[in-house]
Structure 1
Amino acid sequence: MTASKFAASALIALASVAATSAFAGNDNGYPRVSVTSTKTRAAVQAELAQARQDGTLLQSNDKQYPKIVSVSTRTRAEVRAEYEAALKAGEIVRVHS
């Protein structure tokens, strides 16, 4: 191994050690927060079971989402007429012409 190859290898090794040490600490600038639970594991599990039973538990992977029914009291023509009137009155600014 020539001196230049040795020097290059040593430089690469030194640079990789220096780069990894820069990430060694876990001080991310956030204050440390200590949280103490006021409930026991059994109490939390009981609340979870109750929420599942009465349907108040919302889960994103659950196939039974709560039914939200919205019924309009106006027709499409009424809404369109209201929109056109607001445009004419200058209450709405049309972005695209």
Structure 2
Amino acid sequence: MNSKKLLATSLIALASVAATSAFADSYDRDYPVIAPTHSTVTRAQVQAELAQARKDGTLAQLNDDHAYPVIAETAPAKSRAEVRAELIQAQKDGSIPVYHG
């Protein structure tokens, strides 16, 4: 009786492994094949372009962390008291509903 249980358990385990590997194999084939690419530019040409970019400043512009667009200045910040006064006025005139929690 024990040998039958051992055989059955072994067959189930073997079938599970076979099914898992078959699934993984079919899954791997779904990925697109990426063909190797070949550059049309030589290493010397790339180095020459890099040297030119450093010389004329275009490389510095691309790598400059401070080259973000300039944001227009806003009005000076309001004090807490000014903001509270505006809130109270907006609640009085009905433009903001009053919360009674």
TM-score interval (norm. to shorter) = 0.3 to 0.5
TM-score normalised by structure 2 residue count: 0.46
Q: Which has the higher helix share?
A: 2
Larger radius of gyration: 2
